[in-house]
Amino acid sequence: MKMLINVPETVVADALRGMAAAHPELAVDVENRVILRKDAPVAGKVGLVSGGGSGHEPLHGGFVGPGMLSAACPGEVFTSPVPDQMVRAAAAVDSGAGVLFIVKNYTGDVLNFDMAAELAEDEGIRIGKVLVNDDVSVTDSLYTAGRRGTGATLFVEKIAGAAAEQGLPLERVEAIARQVNENSRSFGVALSACTTPSKGTPTFDLPDGELELGIGIHGEPGRERRPMMTSGEIAEAAVDAILADITPRNPVLVLVNGMGATPLLELYGFNAEVQRVLGERGVPVARVLVGNYVTSLDMAGASVTLCQIDEELLRLWDAPVRTAGLRWGM
């Protein structure tokens, strides 16, 4: 497999150096693997810290900036960051108002963020935590006890980020983040496997003419393997799987997310089918976001995330944001 890299051992550091050069509004610590808002800490503002294995860009480093995260901690590819990174990030963004850890439900992330929370609290930093576990595909998997954290991470980071930007206290920001997670569900599909730099070959075998329904963002097995389906059929499978788990009472935010190798031409066509299915199922749509946001290296495929919202959450979603991977209203 051809890759635009030097050597696998430096791929994350090289990417961080490139990110620093492209985004001078960020403070990128390549050696310690921490990406910060350059203006952190912001007086009176709750800090938001997230992180995870690299390979899911723009998650999480691309979501650092006004209206979203205060800091992100990138691990090696598909590998959790270590507690020292999180403690360093928390100390850098804490203004005295506390820090919220946003954690995707993968075993390594959960263990390391829990350890980091204890260490940070020993240093006098108030810590809140929210666990993102929105994936309806499977319960318990290769990387997870319980449901995986996937596309809803973007919703949690954006909406909680807006709440923090408006000066809400830690307890309220944490409650809003939990509400977003509880109201969100996701389902993904893979048309091809991804390839990690260290391995150089696909992480699993997916024969021509087949797809994997319910895939995870590390290439974890899904619900089932089927012969290739049309965009409309995939949309029906994804939306129906979500609606079997949650019945939205309010309008929904919709994320149609590419897994890394699916072009926007296909994603917008897929979104048209998702909107058709939601209309047929009587689900009103408040906002739609289409693009590659929570990816899996070079995997072809897509995921759908729905989040039922009220007026407050919609207002926070619409609030200005300025990051490398998401920006509007500024």
3-class DSSP assignment, residue 55: coil
pTM above 0.85, yes or no: yes
| Edge-to-edge strand ranges of the sheet holding 210-213 | 224-227, 210-213, 184-190, 301-308, 252-258, 285-291
What's the average model confidence in pLDDT over 294-322? 97
Query: Which is catalytic among the residues 67, 218, 243, 297?
Result: 218
Q: Are 157 and 50 in contact (CB under 8 A)?
A: yes
Give kind and range of the element (H or E) at residue 73: strand 71-77
Q: How confident is the model at residue 223 (pLDDT cuts 50, 70, 90)?
A: confident
* pLDDT tens-digit series, residues 132-160: 999 998 776 666 678 999 999 999 999 99
Which pLDDT score is estimated for 218?
86
Integer Cα distance of 40 and 152 in angstroms: 25
Which pLDDT score is estimated for 141?
67
Structure-token pair, residue 311: 């007026």
Query: Which is catalytic among the residues 23, 33, 45, 56?
Result: 56
| Whether residue 56 lies in the annotated active site | yes
* pLDDT tens-digit series, residues 232-251: 999 999 999 999 999 999 99
| Whether residue 60 lies in the annotated active site | no
Q: How many residues does the chain have?
A: 330
